[in-house]
Amino acid sequence: MPELDINKQSFSKLIEDYILIHKDVDYIDAILIVCEKHEVDPRDCKRLLNKSIVEKIEVEAMNLNMIQGGNPSYTLPI
């Protein structure tokens, strides 16, 4: 079901809605699934993600040691 008029707000809502329904899916996978479902090139989705989702992806990536920054679970709360 491709959408013709997709923007940052609608795309981010699609991601959040998908996560709510499929609780076992992480944000990285949810983005790829939504991109495929709505015929959005994953390379173009960066401009469609809000700050909250970008931060959640960064935390997931750090937990999986995909990016530097250490494991956030080892940091002290501020």
What does the pLDDT look like over 5-50, one tens digit per residue?
Answer: 788 999 999 999 999 999 999 999 999 999 999 999 999 888 999 9
For the chain, the three-class secondary structure string (H helix, E strand, C coil) is CCCCCCCHHHHHHHHHHHHHHCCCCCHHHHHHHHHHHCCCCHHHHHHHCCHHHHHHHHHHHHHCCCCCCCCHHHCCCC
Per-residue pLDDT of 44-76, as tens digits, reads: 888 999 999 999 999 888 888 777 765 555 555
The model's pTM: 0.76
